[in-house]
């Protein structure tokens, strides 16, 4: 069984969830893959001490949303007690508000280089550095040390390149498309379990097996792009569509979704180009005509838009 953990390494519940998953798995030998999630996308490039960060009203408000009914200080005490109960020790608590992008790059590169076992070791050491040692994991010097101590010396050198950057950013979009909204979220197939649930809950979830639907990778990527459009992220959809546009530019479905993404990101000239070719290739496509008409109208070409809008309404009355 392959288990994905979508989590942020600066999320305390991710480390707690890791321990609980390990208890639920025992020695089952399941493959565990770490996927990136960001709980604090606005974290500064230069880490700041957490005491300073907590004085920021926006950070304080976000922390209060995470634990309704508790002050941030009360929630920190609560999490520290839970972490101790999970065997993470009494010396607990991040010292820095740190960005996690490079740490996620390191995790991704570790899996590419050495598989799930190496990635899991890197994840353990990154979170230990952040929550127990009080290190700044946004500092590449810290991450280089983590990589070397994890047996991934190659990763130390890769951190100063852009290796893994595109892949991590794409995975963040895929997580968004799949509806991942909590760190950690355990995913098996098409099923998801949000939060650092107790081991017995995780075990029950895993007992359900992998009931994911088999589909070609290209189809899955297209569905993710559509999901991002539904979530009002047309630029993200275009990122996921790029390999499809490069390799399957003649596919009508790819062109339809790409045209929608261009339209909703106000790239109207590109939308028009795609839609004009689409209408020429599929003249009975009412939705393509509707989109072309709307695109031309937004471009100020009302006379050219009218015939397409009229024909779309005739073919599909709900488009009127």
CA-wise closest residue to 193 among 28, 24, 66: 24
Q: Are residues 168 and 224 in the same domain?
A: no
Which residues of the chain form beta strands (DSSP E)?
Answer: 2-7, 31-36, 48-49, 96-97, 185-188, 191-194
What are residue 193's DSSP bridge partners? 186
Residue 67, pLDDT > 90, answer no
In a domain, 193, yes or no: yes
Tens of pLDDT, residue by residue over 197-242, are 999 999 999 999 877 778 899 999 999 999 999 999 999 999 999 9
Tens of pLDDT, residue by residue over 138-188, are 999 999 999 999 999 999 999 999 999 999 999 999 999 999 999 999 999
Which of 173, 206, 239 terminates a domain? The answer is 206
User: In this structure, what CATH number is given to the domain that contains residue 295?
Assistant: 1.25.40.10
In a domain, 212, yes or no: no
What phi, psi does 129 have (nearest 5°)? -60, -40
CA-wise closest residue to 105 among 126, 76, 85, 78: 126
Mind giving me the DSSP string for 67-110? STTS-HHHHHHHHHHHHHHTTS-SS---SEE---HHHHHHHHHH
Number of domains, the chain: 2
d(CA 166, CA 101): 11
Tens of pLDDT, residue by residue over 256-307, are 999 999 999 999 999 999 999 999 999 999 999 999 999 999 999 999 999 9
Range of the domain at 161: 2-206
Residue 1, pLDDT > 90, answer no
């Amino acid at each position: 069984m392959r288990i994905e953990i979508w989590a942020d390494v600066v999320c305390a519940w991710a480390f707690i969830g890791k321990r609980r998953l390990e208890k639920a798995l025992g020695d089952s030998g399941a493959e565990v893959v770490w996927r990136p999630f960001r709980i604090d996308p606005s974290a500064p490039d230069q880490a700041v001490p957490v005491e300073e960060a907590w004085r920021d009203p926006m950070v304080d408000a976000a922390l209060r949303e995470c634990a309704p009914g508790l002050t941030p200080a009360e929630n920190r005490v609560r999490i520290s007690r839970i972490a101790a109960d999970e065997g993470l020790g009494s010396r607990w608590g991040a010292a820095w508000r740190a960005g996690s992008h490079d740490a996620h790059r390191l995790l991704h590169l570790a899996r590419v280089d050495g598989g799930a076992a190496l990635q899991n070791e890197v994840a353990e050491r990154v979170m230990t550095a952040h929550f127990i040692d009080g290190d700044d994991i946004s500092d590449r010097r810290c991450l280089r040390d983590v990589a070397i101590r994890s047996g991934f010396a190659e990763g130390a050198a890769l951190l100063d390149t852009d290796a893994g950057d595109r892949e991590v950013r794409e995975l963040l979009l895929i997580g968004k498309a799949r509806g991942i909204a909590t760190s950690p979220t355990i995913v098996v197939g098409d099923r998801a379990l949000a939060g650092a649930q107790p081991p017995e809950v995780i075990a029950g979830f895993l007992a359900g097996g992998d009931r994911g639907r088999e589909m070609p990778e290209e189809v899955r990527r297209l569905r993710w792009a559509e999901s991002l459009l539904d979530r009002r992220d047309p630029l993200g959809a275009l990122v996921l569509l790029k390999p499809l546009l490069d390799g399957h530019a003649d596919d009508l479905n790819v062109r339809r979704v790409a045209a929608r993404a261009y339209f909703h990101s106000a790239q109207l000239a590109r939308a028009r180009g795609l839609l004009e070719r689409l209408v020429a290739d599929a003249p009975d496509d009412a939705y393509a005509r509707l989109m072309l008409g709307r695109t031309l109208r937004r471009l100020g070409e009302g006379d050219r838009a009218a015939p397409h809008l009229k024909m779309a309404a005739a073919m599909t009355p709900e488009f009127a």
